Amino acid sequence: MSEVLDCIVVGGGPGGLTAATYLARYRRSVRIFDTGCTRAGWIPKSRNCPGFPHGVGGEELLQRMREQASKFGVETIPDEVTALHVDGDGFRIRHGDNELRARHVILATGCEDVTPALDGIEKAVECGAVRMCPICDAFEAIDTTIAVHGPADKAASHARFLRTYSANVT
């Protein structure tokens, strides 16, 4: 554990990959930890990414971002970080039986969706009939019928926001 990296990025979704790529382009030593569980992989097609005027699926976007990060020397470690500790003027992380040290750590762990316990929900997400992120996906539902599911306090604010995109929100 003698090497001290400039940065460890925890999370292999779009945010973590963007951070790691920029750091590598600034000639910083960086490793990214990616368990492969990113909600971006569920995106059937997003038109919310600059450079993809016709949209891009989540898996394709992630693959391109991984390829770009790798091109600039980012090493991806397909493992889960199980511990993070302050260590002097930096940090020490544990993954499996291994430890790494870094001057900085970026936590880009994203969020985990709670999907409703409904038959066929995975297929509905895959085909775009069910969307998880109003900010990311509202544009895709312009002038359609939209149903909002979730706890009342959050569902109400999401429904108000979605009224910007459709007059038919339940």
> Per the domain annotation, does 39 fall within a domain?
yes
Between these two residues, 43 and 90, which has the higher pLDDT value? 90
| Same domain for 99 and 56 | yes
136: domain range? 121-162
pLDDT tens digit string along 32-66? Answer: 999 998 888 888 888 888 999 999 999 999 999 99
> What per-residue confidence (pLDDT) applies to 1?
55
| Same domain for 31 and 99 | yes
The enclosing domain of 34 has a CATH number of 3.50.50.60
Residues 6+ apart with CB under 8 A from 96: 79, 82
> What per-residue confidence (pLDDT) applies to 126?
81
How many domains does the chain fold into?
Answer: 2
| Same domain for 129 and 90 | no
pLDDT tens digit string along 96-153? Answer: 999 999 999 999 999 888 888 889 988 988 888 888 888 888 888 899 999 998 888 8
- 0.75 exceeded by pTM: yes
> Per the domain annotation, does 11 fall within a domain?
yes
Residues 6+ apart with CB under 8 A from 156: none
Between these two residues, 125 and 86, which has the higher pLDDT value? 86
| Same domain for 96 and 22 | yes
> Per the domain annotation, does 167 fall within a domain?
no
Q: CA quadruple 137, 138, 141, 147: dihedral positive or negative?
A: positive
> What per-residue confidence (pLDDT) applies to 125?
83
Q: Say whether pLDDT at 2 is over 80.
A: no
